[in-house]
Amino acid sequence: MAFLKRSPWLLHYDASSCNGCDIEVLACLTPLYDVERFGIINTGNPKHADILVITGGINELNRDVVENIYEQMPEPKVVVAVGVCAASGGVFRECYNIVGGVDKVIPVDVYVPGCAARPESIIDGIVTALGILEEKRSRMANLTAEKEVARREAEAGS
Amino acid sequence: METLLFLILFPALVAGAILVAKQKQLRFALVTVAAIIIGAASVWLLASYGLAGTVYFPFPSEPTSQIMVAIEIGLAAYIAYLGFRFRNYLAITLIAVQTVLIAAFELLYAENVHTANNFFIDQFSIIMALIIGIIGSLIAVYALRYMEEYHTAHPEVRNRQRTFFFIIFVFLAAMFGLVFSNNLQWIFFFWEITTISSFLLIGYAETDEATRNAFLALVMNLLGGIAFAAALIYLAATDPAGRILELDQLLASGEAIALLPAVLIGFAGITKAALMPFSTWLLGAMVAPTPVSALLHSSTMVKAGVYILVRFAPVYAGTLAGMSIGLVGAVTFLVASAIAVSQSNAKSVLAYSTVANLGLIAACAGVGTPMLEWAAILLIIFHAISKSLLFLSVGTVEHRIHSRDIEDMEGLIVRMPKVAVMMFIGIAGMFLAPFGMLISKWAAIEGFVQAPYGLVFVAILAYGGAVTVFFWAKWMGKLVAVTRYRTRVEDSFRKERWAPLYTLTGLVVATVLLFPVISSYLIEPYVTAIYGTTARLSQANIAIMMLMLALLLILPVSFLLFRRSAKRLPPYMSGRTTTADMQFVGSMGIAKEMTTRNYYLTEYFGEKRLLLPGSVICAGLILVSWLLAGVAA
Amino acid sequence: MNGILGALLFIILAPFLGGLIAGADRILTARMQGRVGPPLLQPFYDVGKLFEKENVVVTTAQNFYILAYLAFIIVSGALFFAGGDLLLIIFAFTLAHVFLVLGAYAVHSPYSHIGAERELIQIMAYEPMIILSAVGLYLVSGSFYVGDIIASTVPAILYLPGVFLGFLTILTIKLRKSPFDISTSHHAHQEIVKGITTEFSGATLGQVEIAHWYENVFLLGFVYLFFAFNPILGVVAVIVTYVAEIFIDNTTARLRWQAALQSGWGVAAILGLFNLAVVVYIIGGV
């Protein structure tokens, strides 16, 4: 069963965005776009989240935080980098404290372009991410099944 | 008969032997063997009289009463001496008043008084004897090691262990005497012995604080003692032949005669059970070594106070005076539970919870319907077991982590898993279904609903019960916090005597399983004998409770299922990386440690805010009970 | 026999009913906010998803406490639908919540900790009123047994309007609705992250959700008791009550714990106790 893509809970993290993309992410929750139609909930907790939505580029102070949040999300999970800053650092990429895009720190699955990214493209990005999420899930399920078989065999053998 | 006398005299003999036994090994052996014998004898008592109903023993009162009076006067002189030494003139005044009352009784009435059935035993006495015999001796054994460590940890305290165990065993003898005596004069004698044992044990450390608190306890209990003595004189004046000085005769004599003495003796019970406004002495008594708190100040001596109230419950039933005594108990239950919320010292929480539960028992006794009588006796049993277990675990923990603050017990499940589990079970025994205290609380609610004017009691119980859940659950929470970075300190701890702790933990669970048996063979016959009817929980509900207990015992098996493949992650710290021991770098690059603290809500539940109003209300209610009883007489 | 059947039906059907109620709740909430909202079956997708996720824990003990929470919620609900003793049901219910709180304590996390403390305050806030409700139903029907209360033909609500209003107030706490959703912050997420459930994820969180469904069905059953003399009226009352709770949820802001405690205790004293006193002393029982 694939419940995952019908119930993606996302965690929104503002790395060093100018808040333009953040407003657009939040706009997705409003009555006009209403992402809850897809079962999407904006949860504030990485342990409950399936999709990490990051706006803005990574800087020296928050790279640990981004790594930590990513680490704390249970598998399967995907990362959506929203806006051009999250993709590459954008206009801030030459700044002294900017590391670059999100993919310098954690693996990114979907890049949503735009400055700021439009709600339509953000929703499109997340829906794309759902496909990847589903792929990861089935891979994980197979892997777990294989592991379980291996464990049982090892137990039976020993 | 022999068993009764044995249970009273044997501990007294052992006490004497301890006083002369100089070597530590000898003391250890004496106490352990004596404890086993006393425990076995109380079980033997159950076996021989458990089904016999009420049995009276005509025991000659002649020389015994005189000896008792002599001892009383000797003790009074000793108290007076201590009073002068520590310049506590209030204590001297009170003991003087009491001695005058006893002397007056002796001179004016004693000649004509001829009591025949001085000893008796019934199901309630057996229950009390089992509590004293089993829990008391377990605590005595535990105290052996505890006192050794206590003196290592407190070199400044004079090592008077022989005196300590002497008093403990004298106390046990007095408690047995108290619950077996049918002669009120004798009850009074044993009553006074327990007061003085408590006084001496609270002052054991001989610090200023200990002495002060010991005298506080003494003064308050002497007030009760004076009321008791006054009741004796009143009774002797009413019935010069003195038959009415026998407990069963008094109870049978009807409300018109019995109510006033019952209220006076009930007042003695209120002081001994540390109900408000006398709760301060029990809190002060917590300076005593922990086994003392466990034995005297939670499981046995304070139970003497409610024992006497429960004995007189049939007299109180349906009277307004009884209702006010019940209200003293109920208000105490509510206020003491609320104050317990604001306490972080484990022993204070235990003390306030003890006061609260004694209050609940008094409330049941004051209203005195069969159902409530049943609930009160159940409360006495379950409270004694769970509370002594809790005190002993706190004492054990204190010796290891050098603190009795609940905040410092965080992660005890990692540091001292065995004690933590036992403490957990003890706490569960205090407030969770399907454990003992909750069964009784449930019965109490049902009982109050059916009682006249019971609504106010039901409301108090509803609020008090809610508060109880709060303060126990947050303590439990501290225990179970898994702080994996803490090291286990229990293994270095082999020396401690585990047996009493294991036994008590077993008893907490066993009493839940056995309570239908206890109820139908001991409590229900007793209640039936008095009221003609009895109460009990329905079979279906008991079955459900058993199922719940079974479920609770099975659920931990699920731990086996979780082990497998779970990935462990540190707690969420808003994205901050933390080290294994929960250190993190805060803003401005300063390293900090994550700590959690429980809510104490001092602003709402603090001692300062609640103690005075509670005491004033209860003092008022006590006065009202006297007035009403006086009017009725 | 009826009792066992009731319990079995509850154990099997309550999750479905509870999930559907939760789905309807979300749609209705969305409509009140001018949105379309998720599909009706969304709660089932959510829980299904949670069981698909990786098993992540802070400490394995947390799974134990949550399992015990779920188990005792089911026990208390099953007892209720078996027609058992209301007081025993309430105690089992409290036991279940203590396990939830202990699970949050066990993980030793700052947000869980605050959530746990607040949950305890909530328990303290609603407990007196829930016991007084049981006592009220006892006074009008003469029994603490749910079976007897349902069989009673006395219109409980006419005697107990105050108790019922008081019960509605604490129902807001129990359904984790605004203004009293202080321990989990179901809706506005940021204040204490997810409060008591912060550290539970995957299947464990799924169990918390399922327990919540069971719990809601049980609580709505409790509402029904006040109207049990007329089943149709009873069902209507339950629906109206739930819609009203959603309405309150969407029109109020979250209050502080002090307000929760004062409201819970206040309604118990003013509405509950006063009502009971009138029934006992003025009407003189039923």
| Digit-coded pLDDT (tens) for A87-140 | 998 899 889 989 888 998 999 999 999 998 999 999 999 999 999 988 888 888
Quote the minimal CA–CA distance from C71 to chain B in Å. Answer: 9
Task: Find the radius of gyration of the CA atoms of chain C.
Answer: 19
Any C CB within 8 A of A43 CB? yes
Question: What pLDDT sits at residue C20?
Answer: 95
Quote the minimal CA–CA distance from A41 to chain C in Å. Answer: 10
C-alpha to C-alpha distances, C82 to C3, C76, C85, C174, nearest whole angstrom: 4, 10, 9, 22
pLDDT band at C190 (very low <50, low <70, confident <90, very high): low
In this model, does residue B559 exceed pLDDT 80? no
Question: What pLDDT sits at residue C266?
Answer: 92
Q: Which structure tokens are listed for B65?
A: 């009463």
- Report angle CA C281, C284, C286 to the nearest 5 degrees: 135
In this model, does residue C243 exceed pLDDT 90? yes
At B488, which helix (H) or strand (E)? none
Class of residue C272 by CB neighbours under 10 A (exposed 0-12, middle 13-18, buried 19+): buried
Q: Say what the alpha-carbon torsion angle A122, A126, A127, A131 is, to the nearest 10 degrees.
A: 150
Give the mean model confidence (pLDDT) for residues B297-304. Answer: 89
Quote the minimal CA–CA distance from B454 to chain C in Å. Answer: 10
Q: Testing the interface with A: which of C28, C44, C50, C52 to mutate, by most A Cβ within 10 A?
A: C52
pLDDT band at A2 (very low <50, low <70, confident <90, very high): confident
Nearest to C276 among B455, B463, B484 (CB): B455
What are the two backbone dihedrals, phi and then psi, of residue A59, each rounded to the nearest 5 degrees?
-115, 175
Instruction: Name the region of B582 (left: φ>0; alpha: ψ -120 to 50; beta: rest).
Output: left
Q: Which of B429, B434, B432 is nearest to B465 (CA)?
A: B432
Nearest to C108 among B432, B556, B571 (CB): B571
Quote the minimal CA–CA distance from C57 to chain A in Å. Answer: 9
Nearest to C193 among A4, A7, A44 (CB): A44
Model confidence over A143-157: pLDDT tens digits? 878 877 887 787 776
Q: Say what the alpha-carbon torsion angle C106, C111, C115, C117 is, to the nearest 10 degrees.
A: 70
- Report angle CA B376, B228, B375 to the nearest 5 degrees: 5
Whether residues C201 and A75 touch (CB distance < 8 A) is answered with: no
pLDDT band at C70 (very low <50, low <70, confident <90, very high): very high
Residues 6+ apart with CB under 8 A from C73: C93, C96, C211, C214, C215, C218
pLDDT band at B563 (very low <50, low <70, confident <90, very high): low
3-state SS record for chain C: CHHHHHHHHHHHHHHHHHHHHHHHHHHHHHHHCCCCCCCCCHHHHHHHHHHHCCCEECCCHHHHHHHHHHHHHHHHHHHHHCCCEHHHHHHHHHHHHHHHHHHHHHCCCHHHHHHHHHHHHHHHHHHHHHHHHHHHHHHHHCCCEHHHHHHCCCCHHHHCHHHHHHHHHHHHHHCCCCCCCCCCCCCCCCCCCCHHHCCCCHHHHHHHHHHHHHHHHHHHHHHHHCCCCCHHHHHHHHHHHHHHHHHHHHHCCCCCHHHHHHHHHHHHHHHHHHHHHHHHHHHCCC
Question: What pLDDT sits at residue C193?
Answer: 79
Give the mean model confidence (pLDDT) for residues C146-157. Answer: 89
In this model, does residue B489 exceed pLDDT 70? yes
Contacts of C75 in chain B (CB under 8 A): 547-548, 551
Question: What pLDDT sits at residue C187?
Answer: 60
Model confidence over C164-173: pLDDT tens digits? 999 999 999 9
Model confidence over C245-268: pLDDT tens digits? 999 998 988 888 888 899 999 999
Give the mean model confidence (pLDDT) for residues B587-603. Answer: 86
In this model, does residue B496 exceed pLDDT 90? no
Any C CB within 8 A of A75 CB? yes
In this model, does residue B495 exceed pLDDT 60? no
Residues B91/B222, Cβ–Cβ less than 8 Å:
yes
In this model, does residue B553 exceed pLDDT 90? no
Quote the minimal CA–CA distance from B555 to chain C in Å. Answer: 7
Any C CB within 8 A of A74 CB? yes
Give the mean model confidence (pLDDT) for residues B90-94. Answer: 91
Whether residues B445 and C124 touch (CB distance < 8 A) is answered with: no
Residues B251/B589, Cβ–Cβ less than 8 Å:
no
In this model, does residue B478 exceed pLDDT 80? yes
- Taking the C-alpha atoms of residue B4 and residue B398, their distance in angstroms, rounded to an integer, is 37
- Taking the C-alpha atoms of residue B127 and residue B379, their distance in angstroms, rounded to an integer, is 12
The neighbouring-strand residues paired with A59 are A98
Number of Cβ pairs < 8 A linking chain B and chain C: 180
Q: Which of C166, C168, C182, C181 is nearest to C268 (CA)?
A: C166
Whether residues A64 and B577 touch (CB distance < 8 A) is answered with: yes
The neighbouring-strand residues paired with A82 are A55, A112
- Taking the C-alpha atoms of residue C206 and residue C49, their distance in angstroms, rounded to an integer, is 8
Question: What pLDDT sits at residue B549?
Answer: 86
Question: Between B110 and B340, where is the model more confident?
Answer: B340
Question: What pLDDT sits at residue C17?
Answer: 94
- Taking the C-alpha atoms of residue B467 and residue B444, their distance in angstroms, rounded to an integer, is 17
Nearest to B473 among C68, C71, C98 (CB): C98
Quote the minimal CA–CA distance from C245 to chain A in Å. Answer: 21
Question: Between C92 and B545, where is the model more confident?
Answer: C92
Within B313-369, residue ranges assigned H as helices are: 313-316, 320-341, 346-367
Quote the minimal CA–CA distance from C182 to chain B in Å. Answer: 15
Give the mean model confidence (pLDDT) for residues B555-562. Answer: 77
Percent of chain B with pLDDT over 70: 98
In this model, does residue B494 exceed pLDDT 60? no
Q: Say what the alpha-carbon torsion angle A62, A66, A67, A68 is, to the nearest 10 degrees.
A: 100
Q: Which structure tokens are listed for A22?
A: 């953040």
Question: What pLDDT sits at residue B376?
Answer: 92
Class of residue B588 by CB neighbours under 10 A (exposed 0-12, middle 13-18, buried 19+): exposed
Q: Which structure tokens are listed for B226?
A: 């004076």
Question: Between B384 and C54, where is the model more confident?
Answer: B384
- Taking the C-alpha atoms of residue B188 and residue B68, their distance in angstroms, rounded to an integer, is 10
pLDDT band at B275 (very low <50, low <70, confident <90, very high): very high
Q: Which CATH number fits domain A4-133: 3.40.50.12280, 2.40.110.10, 1.10.3720.10, 3.40.50.620?
A: 3.40.50.12280
- Report angle CA B314, B468, C111 to the nearest 5 degrees: 170
Any C CB within 8 A of A27 CB? no
In this model, does residue C240 exceed pLDDT 70? yes
The answer to whether the bond into A76 is cis (omega within 30° of 0) is yes
Name the interface residues of C facing A (CB cutoff 8 Å): 26, 30, 33-39, 42, 44-46, 48-49, 51-56, 189-190, 193-194, 197-202, 205
Whether residues C198 and A42 touch (CB distance < 8 A) is answered with: no
Whether residues B462 and C92 touch (CB distance < 8 A) is answered with: no
Q: Which structure tokens are listed for B523?
A: 């409590």
Model confidence over B353-387: pLDDT tens digits? 999 999 999 999 999 888 899 999 999 999 999 99
In this model, does residue C99 exceed pLDDT 90? yes
Model confidence over B207-254: pLDDT tens digits? 999 999 999 999 999 999 999 999 999 988 888 777 888 888 888 887
What are the two backbone dihedrals, phi and then psi, of residue B253, each rounded to the nearest 5 degrees?
-80, -5
Nearest to C198 among B411, B559, B572 (CB): B572
Question: What pLDDT sits at residue C189?
Answer: 56
Contacts of A13 in chain B (CB under 8 A): 575
Chains that touch A (3 or more CB pairs under 8 A): B, C
Question: What pLDDT sits at residue A158?
Answer: 56
Average pLDDT score over chain B: 88
In this model, does residue B497 exceed pLDDT 80? no
Nearest to A68 among B565, B567, B577 (CB): B577
In this model, does residue B564 exceed pLDDT 70? no
3-state SS record for B359-397: HHHHHHHHHCCHHHHHHHHHHHHHHHHHHHHHHHHHHHH
For residue A91, the tally of other CB atoms under 10 A from its CB is 13
Question: Between C20 and B554, where is the model more confident?
Answer: C20
Q: Which structure tokens are listed for B162?
A: 């022989």
pLDDT band at B438 (very low <50, low <70, confident <90, very high): confident
What SS3 state is found at B58?
strand
Nearest CA in chain A to C205: A48
What residue has token string 């959530």? C115
In this model, does residue C285 exceed pLDDT 70? no
Question: What pLDDT sits at residue B191?
Answer: 93
The neighbouring-strand residues paired with B364 are none
Nearest to A37 among C36, C199, C200 (CB): C36
Whether residues B572 and A65 touch (CB distance < 8 A) is answered with: no
- Taking the C-alpha atoms of residue A155 and residue B420, their distance in angstroms, rounded to an integer, is 34
Contacts of A66 in chain B (CB under 8 A): 575
Quote the minimal CA–CA distance from B276 to chain C in Å. Answer: 23
The size of chain C, in residues, is 286
Give the mean model confidence (pLDDT) for residues B520-548. Answer: 84
Contacts of C65 in chain B (CB under 8 A): 480
Quote the minimal CA–CA distance from C34 to chain A in Å. Answer: 6
Most confident of B441-445, C142-146, C216-220: C216-220
Residues 6+ apart with CB under 8 A from C270: C162
Give the mean model confidence (pLDDT) for residues B137-159. Answer: 89
Any C CB within 8 A of B583 CB? no
Quote the minimal CA–CA distance from A62 to chain B in Å. Answer: 9
C-alpha to C-alpha distances, B23 to B18, B155, B495, nearest whole angstrom: 10, 19, 19
In this model, does residue B492 exceed pLDDT 60? no
Nearest CA in chain B to C200: B571
Name the interface residues of B facing A (CB cutoff 8 Å): 565, 567, 569-570, 572, 575-577
Whether residues C101 and B477 touch (CB distance < 8 A) is answered with: yes
ipTM of the complex: 0.93
Whether residues A45 and C45 touch (CB distance < 8 A) is answered with: no
In this model, does residue A71 exceed pLDDT 70? yes
Question: What pLDDT sits at residue B588?
Answer: 80
Model confidence over B93-124: pLDDT tens digits? 999 999 999 888 888 887 777 777 889 999 99
Give the mean model confidence (pLDDT) for residues C116-141. Answer: 93
What are the two backbone dihedrals, phi and then psi, of residue B586, each rounded to the nearest 5 degrees?
-80, -170
Question: Between B162 and C186, where is the model more confident?
Answer: B162
What are the two backbone dihedrals, phi and then psi, of residue B282, each rounded to the nearest 5 degrees?
-70, -35
C-proximal residues of B, 530-569, CB under 8 Å:
538, 540-541, 544-545, 547-548, 551-552, 555-556, 558-559, 562-563, 565-569
Query: In this structure, what DSSP letter does residue A39 have?
Result: T
Nearest to B571 among C60, C84, C109 (CB): C109
- Taking the C-alpha atoms of residue B442 and residue C91, their distance in angstroms, rounded to an integer, is 9
Contacts of B570 in chain A (CB under 8 A): 72
Average pLDDT score over chain C: 90
In this model, does residue B168 exceed pLDDT 90? yes
Quote the minimal CA–CA distance from C35 to chain A in Å. Answer: 5
Contacts of B598 in chain C (CB under 8 A): 117
Contacts of B423 in chain C (CB under 8 A): none
Residues B314/B366, Cβ–Cβ less than 8 Å:
no
Task: Find the radius of gyration of the CA atoms of chain B.
Answer: 24
Q: Which structure tokens are listed for B189?
A: 């004698």
In this model, does residue C208 exceed pLDDT 90? yes
Residues 6+ apart with CB under 8 A from A148: none
